[in-house]
Chains A and B, each alone.
Chain A
Amino acid sequence: MTYSLLSIMRQELGLIVITLLVLFLDLFVRETNKQKVYIITLILFGIHTLAGFFPFEGGTLFGGMFHTTPMHILMKNVLNIGVFLVLLMSASWLIMPRISDKRNEFLMILLTTLSGMYFMISAGDFLMFYIGLEIASIPMAVLAAFEKFKSRSEEAGIKFLLNSALSTGFLLFGLSLFYAAGGTLYFDDFSHSISQPSPLVALALTFLLSGLAFKLSLVPFHFWTADVYEGSPMVVTSYFSVISKGSVAFVLGILLFKVFPAFIGLWQFVIYALAIATMLIGNLFALRQKNIKRFLAFSSIAQAGFILLGLLQTDTFGITVIIYFVLIYILSNLAAFGVAQAISVATGKENIEDYNGLYKTNPSLSLIMMLALFSLSGIPPVAGFFSKFFLFTAAAKAGYYRLVFIAVVNTTIALYYYLLVVKAMFINPNPNPLPPIRSDNYLRSALFITVVGIFLAGILSPVFEYMQAIVDKF
């Protein structure tokens, strides 16, 4: 029993060991050696990420509360890649004056939220799902309020915490109604014990979906997103917009496909309406943003609307497409945030008009930003095109031609505002553009990985076939 625990939970245990190691090193290491903890964490987490790719069958623990399969491990690997890039990008921010004395706390809290996401993805029971969700979301408020000498960061922290508590309340109310209807909290028993949708189940599903929509910032529930993204430190914003969003998208997929397949008639229309509203409102609000963080916040709201398209296709193709889309989205969004991070750390500028004439002084940063924005909008040679194309295929396969049409229209609107940023960098004249920026090697290697990923993950079909093969086996 203990031995199987070690092997089935190895990813979680590995991550927890790294987290505790960071905590104890930070406590006991001398003040002059504290910056080395970062390097140790980075190396250990890199090994942890690579170790996740070893093939492994998975299994079930604690009477079904925790279960893992190759598909779950694939999802965790995708998140690991994103967190590794975020860690690389955080180096230049962590040495800043008023951050550096608590930089190891940042690493520890970041890894704690990731372990919460692991438990949330691997949950086989609503209790485990709830605990994982809270382990992931409570420390995130701490991360948002990390620059506590800035009033915006404090504001972002409290807004995130109160909104996430409200959404948790809705989610729990839904779960309690599910418990009334099914008499069990285990996913497996649950899908057996209720086969017919009833009004009680419909009410419970409404509450549960609105709770999750808060976390994924889908449109009627998106009001906290822009403020929290703008106020948080840049690294934390990039973490919010890719990792936290990606993990909730995975969990939504697992819940809808594995636990509620019997109620597909109930949730399909809700997802359909949410997708349209999210894409439209996200895009229209992104048009008028002046701050690069707010701009990327609304663009990430719109991208969440695209993710919902994959949920409408209920066979394994749908979930493969979601995982693939999230991977590409992580790479392209982190490339955009990496450039914004480099500029923000060096000059403190975060507005789009500060980027005017950036190409004259920083050609490589401008090119990376352009690539990232092209990938986010889905222009053919880069990976974003393929992920969007597969999503549209999935929705079209399920017969939602009108929805695909609306999504294509939205892609065009999105292209307009992404190109506004590109125009600012390449065409808009500016007598005194930003000075040439030299970022550190960590950030440069992170940007290098994202650029290579943006090119290769789309063109190389083995990436998608690898995912498809793993999800099919499940």
Chain B
Amino acid sequence: MWQDISLQDVLIVSTLMFFSGVYGFLTRRNLITMLMSVELMLNAVNINFVAFNYFLHPENMQGMFFALFVVVIAAAEASVAIAIIIGIYRRFKSINIEDVSKMKF
């Protein structure tokens, strides 16, 4: 039953999600996949906020509202990212970061 889920269980899930997002961002070379990894990180943060609100600080709803705002702003971020990625695809015919990177140290 869902009443048996403790804060610890939720935090294990969210931390795993967050760091798989970081791992994906660092290892994947496809721009869309990198964007997905970032979204994974942001959603892990949302789980954190909601879980902390529910288990630790149920007296007000600040964590829930924060999660809502994170969702909205992540959507704005994704729309700008996809607009730029479409521009990149038109120019390079590829969305692999290795093909796009022209500038080097």
By the criterion of a CB under 8 Å from any partner CB, how many residues of chain B are at the interface? 41
Of chain A, the residue at the smallest CB distance from B58 is A183
Within 8 A of B (CB), among A385-411: none
Are B34 and A162 in contact, CB atoms less than 8 angstroms apart? yes
Are B62 and A169 in contact, CB atoms less than 8 angstroms apart? no
Are B73 and A134 in contact, CB atoms less than 8 angstroms apart? yes
Contacts of B81 in A (CB 8 A): 141, 158, 161-162, 165
Contacts of B35 in A (CB 8 A): 162, 165
Complex: A145 Cα to B100 Cα, angstroms: 13
Are B62 and A185 in contact, CB atoms less than 8 angstroms apart? yes
Instruction: State how many angstroms separate the Cβ of A13 from the closest Cβ of chain B.
Output: 21
Complex: A173 Cα to B57 Cα, angstroms: 17
B66's contact among A145, A165, A185, A227, by CB below 8 Å, is which? A185
B-binding segment of A77-85, A146-154, A251-259: A146-154
B2 within 8 A of partner (CB): no
The A-B contact count (CB < 8 A) is 118
Are B38 and A166 in contact, CB atoms less than 8 angstroms apart? yes
**A169 and B84 contact, Cβ closer than 8 Å, known pairs A155-B101, A183-B56:** no
Are A131 and B84 in contact, CB atoms less than 8 angstroms apart? no
Contacts of B42 in A (CB 8 A): 165, 168-169, 172
Are A158 and B84 in contact, CB atoms less than 8 angstroms apart? yes
Contacts of B56 in A (CB 8 A): 180, 183
Of chain B, the residue at the smallest CB distance from A125 is B62
Are B63 and A141 in contact, CB atoms less than 8 angstroms apart? no
Instruction: State how many angstroms separate the Cβ of A53 from the closest Cβ of chain B.
Output: 33
Of chain B, the residue at the smallest CB distance from A288 is B105
Q: Mark A344-380, 1 if CB is under 8 A from B, else 0.
A: 0000000000000000000000000000000000000
Are A142 and B62 in contact, CB atoms less than 8 angstroms apart? no
Contacts of B88 in A (CB 8 A): 154-155, 158
Complex: A230 Cα to B103 Cα, angstroms: 8
Of chain A, the residue at the smallest CB distance from B44 is A173
Contacts of B85 in A (CB 8 A): 158
A130 within 8 A of partner (CB): yes
Complex: A166 Cα to B44 Cα, angstroms: 13
A142's contact among B45, B80, B91, by CB below 8 Å, is which? B80
Complex: A166 Cα to B91 Cα, angstroms: 25
Are A157 and B84 in contact, CB atoms less than 8 angstroms apart? yes
Are A162 and B66 in contact, CB atoms less than 8 angstroms apart? no
Of chain A, the residue at the smallest CB distance from B43 is A169
Are B18 and A173 in contact, CB atoms less than 8 angstroms apart? yes
Are B69 and A161 in contact, CB atoms less than 8 angstroms apart? no
A260 within 8 A of partner (CB): no
Complex: A285 Cα to B105 Cα, angstroms: 9
Q: Which of A176, A177, A227 has the most CB of B within 10 A?
A: A176
Of chain B, the residue at the smallest CB distance from A151 is B91
Contacts of B73 in A (CB 8 A): 130-131, 134, 138
Contacts of B101 in A (CB 8 A): 155, 227
Complex: A126 Cα to B69 Cα, angstroms: 12
A166's contact among B25, B66, B84, B92, by CB below 8 Å, is which? B25
Contacts of B66 in A (CB 8 A): 126-127, 130, 175-176, 179, 185
7 more A-B residue pairs beyond the given contacts A126-B66, A162-B38, with a C-beta to C-beta distance below 8 A = A130-B66, A138-B76, A154-B100, A162-B31, A169-B21, A169-B22, A176-B49
User: Nearest 10 A-B pairs (CB), nearest first?
Assistant: A169-B41, A176-B48, A183-B57, A172-B45, A165-B38, A180-B52, A227-B103, A134-B73, A157-B84, A158-B84
A and B contact pairs by CB, cutoff 8 A, 21 listed: A127-B62, A127-B69, A130-B66, A130-B69, A130-B73, A131-B69, A134-B76, A138-B76, A138-B77, A151-B102, A154-B100, A157-B84, A158-B85, A162-B25, A162-B81, A169-B22, A179-B53, A179-B62, A184-B57, A227-B103, A230-B103
Chain B: residues with CB nearer than 8 A to chain A? 18, 21-22, 25, 31, 34-35, 38, 41-42, 44-45, 48-49, 52-53, 56-57, 59, 62-63, 65-66, 69-70, 73, 76-77, 80-81, 84-85, 87-88, 91-92, 100-103, 105
